[in-house]
Homo-oligomer: A and B are copies of this chain.
Amino acid sequence: MDASFLLLPDAPVHARSRKPETVLPDEGVSMHIRRYGARQRVYSAGDPARTIHEVAQGCVLVSRYLGDGRRQIIDIVGPGRLFGFASDLHHCTAETTVASMVCSLDRNVALTSPAVSNRVHTAMLREIDQLQTIAVLLGRKTAIERVATLLVGLCGGVEDGPANLSLPVTRSEMADYLGLTIETISRTLTRLKQSGLIGLPDAETVRITNVARLHHVACGDMGEAA
């Protein structure tokens, strides 16, 4: 569970920079670490799924597109998490939001090593759980509940009390993750601010006044109070 492809220290998700950086390419190895700039593709829909990836540092968005350009962000992947599980071809596109380091390992190699294979299995279980959670969010939650859920999720392990977040994603990405529009995200954040649940020192920073309270909003345990 705490085994890792690489032994880099866990780094926090970095705030996004709006300036793309350069890539150091490195092809044809069964395992490699690569440095990506902000907003760069790790793989695209249609690519063969030969490798499994791990975010060593930074943040990766996994998304799918409809023919007309509508996007659904499937997963926001932070340091330590694996992504890119697929049987044959990728149906998703993966791209960094900020300068990131991604470790990629040949899938066949990964599945022959018992230790790594085990880690992959665990990560897949987690991925399934995570996707089920987002299905509930997209299918049944209101806008406030969705935004609250995202914020609570982003603040990681914090269970209670206040927390400060440096959003690793833009409003547009929040919208495409939560099945909403940019405008609704913005309005909802200000509503949360007005109700005192969060503070917004600037657009990229959220101060959660009380994580437990926001968590209640996220689960819809708030509706009947009003």
Contacts and interface: CB of A to CB of B under 8 A. Distances in A.
Interface string A151-194: 00000000000000000000000001011000000000000000
Contacts of A91: 129, 132-133
For the complex formed by this chain, how many copies does it contain in all? 2
Chain A contact residues, majority secondary structure:
helix
A68 B221 CA distance: 7
Contacts of A135: 64, 72, 74, 131, 134-135, 138
Interface string A40-73: 0000000000000000000000001011101110
Contacts of A125: 85-87, 124
A140 B71 contact: yes
- Interface size on A, as a range, is 35 or more
Contact of A129 (B86, B132, B178, B224): B86
Interface in A79-101: 85-87, 91-92
Q: Which residue, A68, A127, A139, A221, has most C-beta atoms of chain B within 10 A? A: A139
